[in-house]
Amino acid sequence: MATTAARTLFASALFHHFDLRPVAAVLARAEANGQAIANVGRYEAQSHFLARLARPVETIEEYGISTWAKAHPDGVIVRYPERSDETAARNALLVQPFRSRRIEVWNAPALAAAKRSGDAEKGSSDQGE
């Protein structure tokens, strides 16, 4: 009985921190539309299976966002800041809890513009999980 209660508590309280279905849906749509996908920091294929991605996800570093966005103006970028800010809430395609961080999916040009203005810098240190 205690085990069942613990599982129920985990499922209701923490599952959304590990549920990648919303991210997978955004990435599947992006790939179906022919958009390139990049991941800031280490990528462990956490979205590949759920999104049924057929193409590789490019790995980039925080300093390479602007360059990648210029080369892929229709692309999307996934990143994992410690916390999200108002700019992400207003401009990212998706923001949700992920493990002990956040996961954000952005249109590449929007993230590059936010970084240029300094709005996307807060919470962006130590990217990847």
* Cα–Cα distance, 114 to 30 (Å, whole number): 20
| Greatest distance between any 2 Cα atoms in the chain | 56
Q: For the chain, give every domain's residue range.
A: 18-116
* Cα–Cα distance, 61 to 115 (Å, whole number): 13
State the average pLDDT for the chain: 84
CA angle at residue 48 from 120 to 66, to 5 degrees?
30
User: Looking at the predicted structure, is the pLDDT value of residue 125 above 50?
Assistant: no
* Cα–Cα distance, 63 to 115 (Å, whole number): 10
Among the listed residues 60, 17, 40, 16, the one whose alpha carbon sits nearest the alpha carbon of residue 105: 40
pLDDT band at 129 (very low <50, low <70, confident <90, very high): very low
